Amino acid sequence: MTHLAADLFAISPKHVAVASTGVIGVPLNIAAIESGMEALGNSLQGDEAGHAAALEAIMTTDTRKKEGSVELEIGGKKIRLGGMLKGAGMVHINMATMLCFVTSDAALTPGALDYCLRRAVRRSLNRVTVDGDTSTNDTIILMANGQAGNEELKPGSPGCEAFALALESLLVKLSRALARDGEGATKLLSITVSGAKDEGSAEKLAKSVASSSLVKAAFFGADANWGRILCAMGYSGADFDPAQVDVVFASEGEEVAVCRNGSSLEFSEDLAKGILSREEVEVKIKAGSGSGTATAWGCDLTYDYVKINGDYRS
């Protein structure tokens, strides 16, 4: 595939990257791909219509298109970033069956691009889970052409830090969209842990809660079963004191506290059910008095997830 594309556009094969998903273990029909290369090349468009066609072409079990953009100014020059993503199932902490393509007009050294991408992915796509399963294919590609005309950014420079933050904000937007479009999902879950010993501990705790099948099932049923959240925190491997844990459910400006200092609170079940029935729900967890904070994103676990994956090949 690399050489077919390189020959078509008269470029070096090293400038072609291949990304694919599909049924694991089934070889791609290269003959069909080869016969379609000319038509593919003729169909390319460098405008909004081309972007929309590419975004739709990479969708598989996705039900929503996932895209985003961000702008910032560095050294008096406007910098733009845009991204598109596909993914809905077999999505867990190490990205998994996900393809993400990001472009920018910024000028950066390869080292700066590598630094920014790795940092941004760690705080975004590597904090997303849909079903606890990882796959054999996952790809994110970041390309920058330098046409913004800014002074080339190097690792450690203020401009590089600004670019890294902008990239992170873009990938967080795409991560949220990925979690919301999880196979069979009806709602997006944002799990934010604060007060942990450090960021790494907060991340472990948030990921563990977002990954719990029992927690995900409870949210599908709009059941304020906060004990499952503490249970998931307990097996996370992170060091924390359960007696200092507070849990709050929030959505659309409303919130309900269900746990304080590791113990149950009296709360309105009707209010809690109303909050947990909405499309986006935030779980705010205070794990202690430390400075560590992190957010992970997930979705509920529904009957449709089993239906989709029970006969995936057919």
Q: Which residue has the tokens 């109303």?
A: 274
Rounded CA Rg of the chain = 21
The confidence score (pLDDT) of residue 314 equals: 61
219 contacts 189 by C-beta, under 8 angstroms? yes
| Longest CA–CA separation in the chain, Å | 69
Domain with CATH 3.10.20.340 in the chain: 188-310
End-to-end C-alpha distance for the chain, whole angstroms: 26
DSSP assignment of 248-301 equals: EEEETTEEEEEEETTEE----HHHHHHHHTSSEEEEEEE-SSSSEEEEEEEE--
> Where does the chain hold its CATH 3.60.70.12 domain(s)?
46-180
**Which CATH superfamily groups domain 188-310?**
ArgJ beta chain, C-terminal domain (3.10.20.340)
Q: What is the CATH number of domain 46-180?
A: 3.60.70.12
Among residues 21, 61, 97, 302, the one annotated as catalytic is 97
* Annotation says 97 is catalytic: yes
Read off the pTM. 0.92
SS3 call for 82: strand
Helices (H), the chain: 2-9, 30-35, 37-43, 48-57, 110-122, 158-180, 199-211, 213-220, 227-234, 269-276, 303-310
Task: Give, for all 314 residues of the chain, the pLDDT tens digit.
Answer: 999 999 999 999 999 999 988 788 888 899 999 999 999 999 999 899 999 999 999 998 899 999 999 999 999 999 999 999 999 998 987 776 789 999 999 999 999 999 999 999 999 999 999 998 887 778 999 999 999 999 999 999 999 999 999 999 999 999 999 999 999 999 999 999 999 999 999 999 999 999 999 999 999 999 999 999 999 999 999 999 999 999 999 999 999 999 999 999 999 999 999 999 999 999 999 999 999 999 999 999 999 999 988 887 76
